[in-house]
Structure 1
């Protein structure tokens, strides 16, 4: 098969669990070496998508190809080409970190000496040397996540699936996973990252797809998605909230009617569209200075991915109930064969 420019190809995948449709004709591609963020709330279909691509779950219909291998007709080829880690580390708690790594190396066909050498290398790389002789069952959540990912890297994969890898981690461990994703990109490894954390998708992804109710509802870079909410705006917070009417008067035609109508007696700030970026900010500041209005803050803001999700779906990402991923979520593990 000729080598495709796409490391992952998904065409019209559908999957149901009982009477619940988890995926409804989902399609997307991931280029070789690209980091694709898959953004969506609990129950959107993210984990089901990953489980199909890693051959843990068989699709009802559609086609998916990973690293040149069809997930249905050549699942062994897929598994040899990928690393998968998820929300729950799949390790032998009775073995030490070092022993887990050696075991994975041997299962993947390394000689005993090569497996030991690779284990030592990964323990160093993942800052686990001091814990190498401790049973994994005694590891913290962040340490378990690191050893889980290390086990998946015993043999370099072509494609990495990280299914909500920072869920439940403390900030330091979360940053370590972020650094790891950056290292994958520098090595040319394709990464598909599912997350509920909007800032995580923003910080790590070359491109983002947004999934809601088993369907891709938007696709693009973070900046492209943010632009769909209306672009940059200038946020103004007066020192005295009673002066908000004066701020509105001073801004004049800079403040469109729909922005004026959005203001309520409880409003403590005013948003002004900023099509000209910093020049809009400077003009607003000039007008308010002339009107002798004191401010607590004035700043140029860009829409967050929270704003994007709310605009695209009509609900906030964190408020959606789990409805369609529960059957597949427990199957997440490091897969190699």
Structure 2
């Protein structure tokens, strides 16, 4: 009888192995990388998670608070020379047709912003962004989390829409492959080709950006309160989860707006109301761990397979990007929790 019980127990354990015992939750497969949605405040506090994925500046904030190490750069793991397009800037078609001179001058300042960020003091940048938030809002960036390294990690670099069309459409296709509901269809007319008739008219322009890394793309303009000939510009930073409200409805408030790429594809990808001027951020996602072994292309499968990864905004760009990268390296994954 004792022998029979031993055999039954061994058989039960053997049968359980294919289904795995995930570190977070009770679902998943042992060989899968298990992905779990977490809040920013949970990063570094959940002992059941082996790694965490966070965007800047949350990555630095949580690393400083918990002692986590930066061990992986999703931009490098993705493999493209310029990373992946994460946020784009769009403008109303009527603005481009009525005031192309302003639009080109505005883009020139956005391009100049990249070099300005390399020399501006952290406090100058913080003040520029904070002064354009709604009254009473808490800034994402502060003296504790904004450094030259964090700015560099945010991937601020402008690429014209017509030059970035292939990279953008390819990344949208990759996001669609992991979650078809996460993106919309973009038309050719969505990508501005700069075939403008130079024109200028006196206008009042409203510019909007979501709080966080994308807002850095306009830091110089906000710091200097850039105005342009015959054009008055108002700069606004709003909560990231509210930005879509400024490009939708019968009379969208934003003349120019920065949007996450997947949101842009769903909200304005038809090109009927807005046109993409260019890409402004090129990835700001990082892997954090209590260990310090770096995750690179050669060892990512070895280190992540079978592990549990807590992801801030698993259902949005951070989670979609991680899933794309796992798929690139043939790493099966499952969502738990």
Normalised TM-score (structure 1): 0.19
Structure ID, larger Rg: 1
The structure, 1 or 2, with the larger RCO (C-alpha pairs under 8 Å, 6+ apart) is 2
Per the normalisation by structure 2, the TM-score is 0.19
